[in-house]
């Protein structure tokens, strides 16, 4: 909860990730939740509609933790862990610290899913990671 407003709160980076233009899942869900009459153009969702849809979607999302691995010129991802909805609060509050403590010095990708639907992703270079030679195994 935000102590100033009493509203539910998540870190700003997470809200922006879910609701920004880079990953349109939440915005699209908010837009298509609106009723329209045949022949009418569907309007873009308001900030309040996006926020409401975020709070509908985010609490149900699971999270996958993946490590970026480079072999020659090929980049692939190895799944390091998965967290069910509501089970990754510490990670979203302090992602760098959590990832370093649990996974070490790596380039990590966090993927959020609602059921089988991909919602958004973010990458972290953890614990001073600079190149694939830095990976801790």
Q: Which helix (H) or strand (E) holds 54?
A: helix 47-57
Range of the domain at 111: 61-134
Q: How many angstroms separate the CA atoms of 25 and 23, rounded?
A: 6
CB atoms within 10 A of CB 28: 12
Q: How many angstroms separate the CA atoms of 32 and 91, rounded?
A: 31
Tell me, what's the pLDDT at 129? Answer: 75
Residue 3 lies in a domain: no
Residue 68 lies in a domain: yes
Tell me, what's the pLDDT at 101? Answer: 92
Tell me, what's the pLDDT at 124? Answer: 93
pTM, two decimal places: 0.86
Task: Indicate if 65 and 130 belong to the same structural domain.
Answer: yes
Q: What digits encode the pLDDT tens for the residues 21-73?
A: 899 999 999 999 888 888 888 889 999 999 999 999 999 999 999 999 988 89
Q: Kindly state the greatest CA–CA separation across the chain.
A: 57
Residue 95 has φ and ψ, to the nearest 5°, of: -60, -45
**R_g of the chain computed on alpha carbons:** 18
Cα dihedral 122, 123, 124, 125, rounded to 10, equals -170
Task: Indicate if 23 and 65 belong to the same structural domain.
Answer: no
Task: Indicate if 73 and 100 belong to the same structural domain.
Answer: yes
Tell me how many domains the chain contains: 2
């Amino acid at each position: 909860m935000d102590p100033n407003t009493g509203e539910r709160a998540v870190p700003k980076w997470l809200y922006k990730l879910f609701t920004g233009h880079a990953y349109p899942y939440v915005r699209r869900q908010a837009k298509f939740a609106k009723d329209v009459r045949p022949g009418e153009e569907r309007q873009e969702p308001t900030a309040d509609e996006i926020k409401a849809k975020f709070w509908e979607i985010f609490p149900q999302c699971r999270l996958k933790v993946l490590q970026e691995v480079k072999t020659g010129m090929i980049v692939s991802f190895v799944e390091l862990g998965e967290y069910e909805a509501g089970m990754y609060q510490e990670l979203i509050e302090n992602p760098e610290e959590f990832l370093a403590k649990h996974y070490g010095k790596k380039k990590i990708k966090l993927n959020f899913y609602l059921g089988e639907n991909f919602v958004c992703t973010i990458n972290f270079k953890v614990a001073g990671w600079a190149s694939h030679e830095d990976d801790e195994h």
